[in-house]
Structure 1
Amino acid sequence: MAQIAPAVREPRKYYGEMRLSLADDHLVLDFPYDAAQVAEVRRLKGAKWDKVARVWRAPVSSLNECRDFAVAHEFTIDPEVLLLTLPTQKNSSRSISIHPDGFISLAFAYDRVAVTSVKQIPGITWDKATHAWKAPITSVDEVVRWGETFDVPVDAAVRQEASAVRGQLESTMAASRATDAAIHIPGMLGELLPYQRAGVAYALASQRCFIADEMGLGKSVQAAATIELLASQGEDVFPGAVVCPPNLVVNWQAEWWKFFPDRNIQIVTNRKEFPADYDIVVVGYSNISTWVRQLSSHKSYVFDESHYCKTPTAQRTKVAKRLARSAGAKAPIMLLTGTPVTNRPAEYAAQLDILGQIDKFGGMWGFYRRYCDAFKDKWGQWHLEGHSNLEELNDRLRSTCYIRRTKPEVMKELPPIVHSPVLVAGAPSVMKEYAKAEADIVQYLVERAKEIAREMGLSERSAAVRAKFRAEASQHLVRISVPRRIAAKAKMAAANEWITAHTEEGHKVVVAAHHRDIVDELAREHGGLKIQGGMNVHEVEAAKA
């Protein structure tokens, strides 16, 4: 049986000249196989063999080495390669150190692989001033690992900082998930629930943080308790300021007095009068621009419903940031919001800036690039509405300045039913109408009492007159229903805001109202679903479906 000889691969025949050329973003070395030359090319930094094109490719950063190789072996060098010059390396050092401004500086010569890798460090940005990369101190572990991978020397101070920061982040993360804390607040009426004590302990340790519990879990009392506890420890926290939606100014005063009745709490409800003496002043977002001078340099700040400050260019956001900057470095600043970290994390950037915590996330643009999937479209417009690395963001927030509990998580600590009255300031234009209606009904009741007394020939204070007056209560209720309807209209804006906030978090909301026109208006605002008197059976069943 005849044997078939194995095929022998012929060496590639080379008909062209040995050439060094430029192709897009890299260099190309084309030459026939020579063991010595191949060994030499392998030592060129970044050089790789292209099996398909059967040429060697090297990064432009190896330009000088490639030209030296080509000249030594009498290659033809394309004119564009001869004329090409690399920019002077402005920072030729290789080191990782702590900058005096508090961030970590990473200096190294350009290398495409190293740059691609360093961009994965959370919060990393390029610093034009130092011609080096800078990372927030909270990313020190990732920086050290990167330096070890790319053989960039890491200063001893950075390694020491890594150990300290790691311990602090782990401690703060654990505190954000705590279910109770051993704290006592002198002078407080009532008791905090266990999870609220944990919230106060977290805010006490963080000093500047979000309290982002779900709505109805007592964020305001935790903020007030934190400030009161600091005061009891001798910290200088008064005078302080609470900034909140305008319709919650009165409620904040009532809530603080509910637990700390001796505290001097004053409110600002207009742009004409500002109190002269107070421990805590409460002002609405709509008025802070008017009173920015009076509100500056306070010893503590609370920004309620802080998502009002989610837009960096908004006037109230700018003023809120200015107020926070006017406080001392150790002044407690708390942002209260029921809005979780959603698929639009860009909304948190401006709020982190108010807290003075944005540098821990690489600054505004470091935050946008890392967590908002920021990109520029073909018209040069930046898009920040995306999201990326959300799990990492949640962990970093919790380990620095963020605590959030939901109702399912603390349900066992809550009573079966929670009544949480909310005092709101009615719309000024409607409240004028209410004041007139109230005055009219009071005048009517006074005149009716006098009329009954005259008819009976008795004193207005006599038991018989009072009895007949009470007997007419149903008639009085008809008249009283007028200011009640006006009061409902005055609360409408606050009610709509409350309902919207709950439904946007995915909660089911049932709203009860006394008057048909109020029910109709609420239904129109929130999807049209309603059940009220006068509807037939079919209409009710259709509404329930």
Structure 2
Amino acid sequence: MIQINEFSEMELRFRYNADLIALIKERGEFPNYQPQRKTWLLPPSSQNQRLAEHLLAHWEFFLRGELRPADEMMEAFKQARIAASMARDAPLRCPGLGGTLRPFQRAGVAYMARTRRCLVADEMGLGKTVEALAALQYVSAFPALVVCPASLQLYWQEQSACWLPGRQVRILGTQSTLEERADIWVVSYASLPRYLPFLRNIRLRALVCDEAHYLKNPAARRTQAVREVARYVPYRFLLTGTPVLNRPNEIVPLLAILGTLYPLGGSRAFLRFVRDAGPERLEEIHARLRVWGFLRRTRAQVLPELPAKERVRVHVPLDDPSAYAEIENHFWAWAQAHGEVLNPLVRLTRLRQEALRQKLPAIREWLQGFLESGEKVVVFGHHREALSHLGQVFDAPVMDGSMPVRERQALITRFQEDTHFPMLLSSLTVGGVGWTLTAAH
């Protein structure tokens, strides 16, 4: 059967036939198999119309709906895709998910599943991680590979265990061995190239790249490694709140990984369109991207659905566990020798300082990625040395007890009003109570 759906796509349903599947792959333009519905989707085009006519004439298919002219169906297809990418909700059932999606997230997952290759560019804090995991579960795209910065590997492992409790998740290069099996493999951008031979042999069904703006340089080794993996993976989801940081051509490597440059006319034609449109026609640029796989929702658009506050704990592995263990052993030896004579918190300070020292690289990496989104951030800390270090690295002021109250208020007023003041660092005792810092979402 061939049915014309609400997106003006052609839905092909038939009993398994290897020859027919090979024909669809050979003659179809962008054929898209939906395993949860056991349906092949073909977007409207002259080439796909010729394929449909061939199936109706020679393969005993019958038609439900009207096979209109290709250009008319393509226009309807574009408008339906754009509407789906901007939907506030969608009917979606996802058995096996370990939580409840918000309405706009259901709409996002439905759109990602339909396009199969999507650049998810929602603003930070809207749950791109959850949407990606839900999309994997919804289409049963396992095994899947998640590529992310090293500092986020444990976060992805924890979120996967939370939202997909029935799935095995392993981090490549840590507790896992290449002989083990997993539904989701997590690997850092830096480590990905050396695991390419292993990944070629496990028949990945999905690729998820977090902080995908790391891939803006097409000549970078990590970008080339991701492109190598993407070549044979049907589902591809790239997540970033900042797909374009400085220049429009930064998005081109991402679209190349997704495989959506061709329907956009190629890199030169797309960049020419972007330059001609200009920033004042941003929605027009977004609309063209939405046809082939682009999600962009802002906090303002979905604010009623967001909770008042969301806490996310990111676990960071120590760079040098032996150094921490040595200090820890000294502490316990001292504690056993002195009993209750002295306050053990004095000795514990060294352990806390050593743990913080080893976490600072991951903290710097996370903050750098956040600042690239263009959002403001407030960083609270306990150790003055760490706050001073971050202040020097990011050229940001530190608000602590040594600063007079009037200077603190002037600093906060500037942070609230000055768009060129992206970061404020503060001690917990000074900045934790009584200040209005709503400029940082």
- Matching residue's letter, 1:517: E
- 1:322 is matched with 228
- 2:323 is matched with 433
Q: Structure 2 vs 1, CA of residues 345 and 479 (structure 1 numbering), >3 Å: closer, same or farther?
A: same
> Do residues 227 (structure 1) and 125 (structure 2) align?
no
Tell me if the contact between 1:249 and 1:425 (Cα under 8 Å) persists in the aligned partners.
no
- 1:361 is matched with 264
- Give the superposition deviation at 1:504: 3.6
- 2:296 is matched with 404
- Give the superposition deviation at 1:340: 4.8
Q: Identify which of structures 1 and 2 has the higher relative contact order when contacts are C-alpha pairs closer than 8 Å and 6+ apart.
A: 2
> Do residues 284 (structure 1) and 185 (structure 2) align?
no
Tell me if the contact between 1:214 and 1:338 (Cα under 8 Å) persists in the aligned partners.
yes
Tell me if the contact between 2:248 and 2:274 (Cα under 8 Å) persists in the aligned partners.
yes
> Do residues 248 (structure 1) and 152 (structure 2) align?
yes
Q: Structure 2 vs 1, CA of residues 319 and 217 (structure 1 numbering), >3 Å: closer, same or farther?
A: same
- 1:516 is matched with 384
Q: What TM-score do you get using the length of structure 2 for normalisation?
A: 0.72
Tell me if the contact between 2:399 and 2:408 (Cα under 8 Å) persists in the aligned partners.
yes
Aligned counterpart in structure 1 of residue 70 of structure 2, from 153, 161, 166: 161
Equivalent-residue separation in structure 1 for 2:228 and 2:275 (angstroms): 25
Aligned ranges for residues 428-507 of structure 1 at < 5 Å?
A: 428-429=319-320, 431-445=321-335, 447-448=336-337, 452=339, 475-507=343-375
Instruction: Give CA deviations for 1:230-279 in whole Å, capped at 9, x if unaligned.
Output: 12xxxxx2221111111111110000101222210000246995452111
Equivalent-residue separation in structure 1 for 2:216 and 2:345 (angstroms): 45
Equivalent-residue separation in structure 1 for 2:354 and 2:298 (angstroms): 35
Structure 2 unaligned regions, length at least 5: 1-26, 31-42, 47-66, 415-441
Instruction: Give CA deviations for 1:364-408 in whole Å, capped at 9, x if unaligned.
Output: 2333333257xxxxxxxxxxxx97964432111112110111112
Equivalent-residue separation in structure 1 for 2:271 and 2:325 (angstroms): 49
Tell me if the contact between 1:312 and 1:350 (Cα under 8 Å) persists in the aligned partners.
yes
- Give the superposition deviation at 1:538: 6.0
Equivalent-residue separation in structure 1 for 2:192 and 2:370 (angstroms): 26
Q: Structure 2 vs 1, CA of residues 477 and 308 (structure 1 numbering), >3 Å: closer, same or farther?
A: same
Aligned ranges for residues 255-334 of structure 1 at < 5 Å?
A: 255-269=159-173, 274=178, 276-296=180-200, 297-327=203-233, 331-334=234-237
Tell me if the contact between 1:217 and 1:407 (Cα under 8 Å) persists in the aligned partners.
yes
- Give the superposition deviation at 1:195: 1.1
Equivalent-residue separation in structure 1 for 2:175 and 2:198 (angstroms): 12
Q: Structure 2 vs 1, CA of residues 441 and 181 (structure 1 numbering), >3 Å: closer, same or farther?
A: farther
Tell me if the contact between 2:264 and 2:270 (Cα under 8 Å) persists in the aligned partners.
yes
- Give the superposition deviation at 1:194: 1.1
- Matching residue's letter, 2:250: E
- 1:34 is matched with none
Q: Structure 2 vs 1, CA of residues 261 and 479 (structure 1 numbering), >3 Å: closer, same or farther?
A: farther
Equivalent-residue separation in structure 2 for 1:338 and 1:221 (angstroms): 14
Instruction: Give CA deviations for 1:522-541 in whole Å, capped at 9, x if unaligned.
Output: 11122231111333456545
- 1:9 is matched with none
Equivalent-residue separation in structure 2 for 1:282 and 1:191 (angstroms): 23
Structure 1 unaligned regions, length at least 5: 1-99, 104-136, 141-157, 232-236, 374-385, 453-468
Which is greater in Rg? Answer: 1
Equivalent-residue separation in structure 1 for 2:238 and 2:150 (angstroms): 16
- 1:458 is matched with none
- Give the superposition deviation at 1:305: 0.8
Q: Percent identity?
A: 36
Q: Provide the aligned C-alpha RMSD in A.
A: 3.1
- Give the superposition deviation at 1:159: 8.2
Instruction: Give CA deviations for 1:120-163 in whole Å, capped at 9, x if unaligned.
Output: xxxxxxxxxxxxxxxxx9999xxxxxxxxxxxxxxxxx983222
Aligned length: 354
Equivalent-residue separation in structure 1 for 2:244 and 2:74 (angstroms): 24
- 2:93 is matched with 184
Equivalent-residue separation in structure 1 for 2:359 and 2:281 (angstroms): 40
> Do residues 207 (structure 1) and 110 (structure 2) align?
no
Q: Structure 2 vs 1, CA of residues 219 and 438 (structure 1 numbering), >3 Å: closer, same or farther?
A: farther
Tell me if the contact between 1:301 and 1:332 (Cα under 8 Å) persists in the aligned partners.
yes
Instruction: Give CA deviations for 1:468-488 in whole Å, capped at 9, x if unaligned.
Output: x5xx7x822222222222222
Q: Structure 2 vs 1, CA of residues 444 and 496 (structure 1 numbering), >3 Å: closer, same or farther?
A: same
Tell me if the contact between 2:89 and 2:103 (Cα under 8 Å) persists in the aligned partners.
yes
- Give the superposition deviation at 1:433: 2.6
- Give the superposition deviation at 1:210: 1.1
- Matching residue's letter, 2:364: N
Matched residue SS, 2:193: coil
Matched residue SS, 1:396: helix
Q: Structure 2 vs 1, CA of residues 529 and 254 (structure 1 numbering), >3 Å: closer, same or farther?
A: same
- Give the superposition deviation at 1:198: 1.0
Aligned ranges for residues 9-158 of structure 1 at < 5 Å?
A: none
Equivalent-residue separation in structure 1 for 2:194 and 2:175 (angstroms): 6
Tell me if the contact between 2:151 and 2:366 (Cα under 8 Å) persists in the aligned partners.
no
Tell me if the contact between 2:212 and 2:243 (Cα under 8 Å) persists in the aligned partners.
no
Q: Structure 2 vs 1, CA of residues 275 and 435 (structure 1 numbering), >3 Å: closer, same or farther?
A: farther
Equivalent-residue separation in structure 1 for 2:273 and 2:245 (angstroms): 15
Q: Structure 2 vs 1, CA of residues 503 and 480 (structure 1 numbering), >3 Å: closer, same or farther?
A: same
Q: Structure 2 vs 1, CA of residues 402 and 186 (structure 1 numbering), >3 Å: closer, same or farther?
A: same
- Give the superposition deviation at 1:189: 2.0
Equivalent-residue separation in structure 2 for 1:388 and 1:307 (angstroms): 23
